[in-house]
Amino acid sequence: MDKALKLTFTYYTAIILAVSEPAHAMHIMEGFLPFNWALIWIVASLPFIVYGVIKINRLVKVNPRLKMLLVLAGAFMFVLSALKLPSITGSSSHPTGIGLGGILFGPLVMSVLGMIVLLFQALLLAHGGITTIGANVFAMGIIGPIIVTIVYKCAKKLHCPLPINVFLATFFGNLFVYTTTSLQLALAFPATEGGIRVSFLKFLGIFGITQIPLGISEAIITVLIFNFLTSYKACDLHELRIIPKDENKELDCSC
Report if residue 94 touches other proteins, rule: CB under 8 A: no
Contact with other proteins (CB under 8 A): which of 9, 13, 234, 249?
13
Q: What is the DSSP string of the chain?
A: --HHHHHHHHHHHHHHHHHSPP--S-PPPTT-S-HHHHHHHHHHHHHHHHHHHHHHHHHHHH-THHHHHHHHHHHHHHHHHHS-BPPSSS--B----HHHHHHHHHHHHHHHHHHHHHHHIIIII--S-STTHHHHIIIIIIIHHHHHHHHHHHHHHTT--HHHHHHHHHHHHHHHHHHHHHHHHHHHS-BTTTHHHHHHHHHHHHHHHHHHHHHHHHHHHHHHHHHHHHHH-HHHHHHHHHTTT-TTPPP----
Report if residue 247 touches other proteins, rule: CB under 8 A: no
- For other proteins, which stretch binds (CB under 8 A), given 69-77, 137-145, 151-159, 168-176? 69-77
Report if residue 74 touches other proteins, rule: CB under 8 A: yes
Report if residue 85 touches other proteins, rule: CB under 8 A: yes
> Would you say 58 or 154 has its CB closer to other proteins?
58
- For other proteins, which stretch binds (CB under 8 A), given 2-10, 127-135, 157-165, 171-179? 127-135
Report if residue 126 touches other proteins, rule: CB under 8 A: yes
Report if residue 252 touches other proteins, rule: CB under 8 A: no
Binding to other proteins in span 161-200, by CB under 8 A:
185, 189, 191-194, 198-199
